[in-house]
Amino acid sequence: MIKKTFFIFTGFLLLFASACSDEPANVFQGYVEGEYVLVASPIGGTLDDLSVSRGQTVPQDAPLFALERDFEKAAVDEAKHGLQRAQDNLANLEKGQRPSEIASIQAQLRQAKASAALAKIEYLRRVKLIAEKTISQEELDRSESDYDQKNQQVKQINADLTTARLGARSDEIRAGMAEVLQAQAMLDQAQWNFDQKVRSAPSSAFVFDTLFRVGEWISPGQPVVSLLPPENVEVRFYVPQTIIGRIQQGENAIVTYDGADKPIDVIITYVSPEAEFTPPVIYSSQSRAKLVFMLKAKSSRKDATRLHPGQPVDVTIPTLAQ
């Protein structure tokens, strides 16, 4: 997530200041801007560890913070057991059913037939009772439903026995393979949730701020650490519309600031296609002189560490002096 700080009237003030100064026509006033990376976890929890402090510089992949994740660890363990169970079941299916397994299915079938026979007797008994009007229609309906369920169970177990005797259980094996894939996906999801509660630096950066203390509750997506990578530091400056056509993206420029031991080389990375701080009047020759365009420029990562957001700078474009 990117946090941008805007100086609303900076462009107008810079233009006014430059108009009142004696600086060369190729020197423009600007300021340093930073686009902050707000690091958060997509899953909420209590802040268990904060590995960085405000003001330090961290390398890429350095740990930033960790939320408590006992629940996520339990989910990972459960998913691992589920995957192992699915893999064992698939291995068992691939071996083929043994005589003892067929005998077990036969025993289930006998039990199901006995239950169906008893359900039939109960149903026929209630048919007679309903004719005598000694029971309600609801009791008869329940008895009939129970009888149908028992018959369906007999058919199901009978089909299982037939399949077991055939020995070719390709459908069962495919189902077992699908269960393994499903269990693996559940493990991957649980592992992802577990990993999301520990965050590291996406790139080397300056720790601009830490927003919570250990023990505080963090909502999902709520930033915990604010980072400023060197590549997210840029210089913004404004030029009048009279010379905007002479400046191209990719052009070199030079940045200086108060107390600088040496200038910083930058490259213009953006030229605004629209004028800013434009008066709401028809574009007369007088109003056109008030139009300014914003430009952005960036330096190397090494030189970017010398710049600080909010810092005023002077930008020189050498080609305009030619």
Sequence spans of domains, the chain: 2-68+208-321, 71-194
268 against 169, higher pLDDT: 268
**Ranges 85-89, 171-175, 218-222, 297-301: which has the least confidence:** 171-175
- Give the pLDDT of residue 20: 43
For residue 121, the tally of other CB atoms under 10 A from its CB is 12
Residue 84 is predicted with a pLDDT of 96
In the numeric block, which tokens belong to residue 234?
Answer: 């840029």
For residue 162, name the pLDDT band (cuts at 50, 70, 90).
confident
Find the mean pLDDT for residues 281-309: 76
Over range 121-144, report the average pLDDT: 82
The answer, yes or no, to whether residue 47 has pLDDT greater than 80, is: yes
277 falls in which pLDDT band (50, 70, 90)? low
Does residue 253 carry a pLDDT above 50? yes
**CA separation (Å) from 135 to 117, 126, 258?**
21, 8, 101
Check whether 169 has a pLDDT greater than 80. Answer: no
**Which residue in 319, 320, 317 sits closest to 254, CA to CA?**
317
For range 264-279, the mean pLDDT = 83
Please state the separation of Cα 32 from the chain's center in Å: 30
Average pLDDT, whole number, for the chain? Answer: 84
Asked if the model's pLDDT at residue 56 lies above 90, the reply is yes
**Would you say 224 and 218 are in contact if contact means Cβ atoms under 8 Å apart?**
yes
Tokens 């390398």 identify what position? 59
CA–CA dist 182, 286 (Å, integer): 71
Average pLDDT over residues 34-43: 95
Statement: residue 166 has pLDDT above 70:
no
Amino acid 2: pLDDT? 40
In this predicted structure, what is the pLDDT of residue 315? 93
Could you tell me where the beta strands, DSSP code E, fall in 45-195?
45-50, 57-58, 63-67
Lowest-confidence segment of 130-134, 158-162, 218-222, 297-301 by average pLDDT: 130-134
Q: How confident is the model at residue 23 (pLDDT cuts 50, 70, 90)?
A: low
Of 144-148, 231-235, 264-268, minimum mean pLDDT range: 144-148
pLDDT at res. 283: 46
Higher pLDDT pick, 196 / 24: 196
Mean pLDDT of the 261-283 span: 77
Per the listing, tokens 């720790």 go with 207
Q: Say if domain 2-68+208-321 classifies as CATH 3.40.50.800.
A: no
- Lowest mean pLDDT, pick from 126-130, 182-186, 204-208: 126-130
pLDDT band at 147 (very low <50, low <70, confident <90, very high): confident
Residue 137: band (very low, low, confident or very high) from pLDDT cuts 50, 70, 90: confident
DSSP state of 86: H
Q: Residue 143: its pLDDT value, please? A: 83
DSSP symbol at 309: T
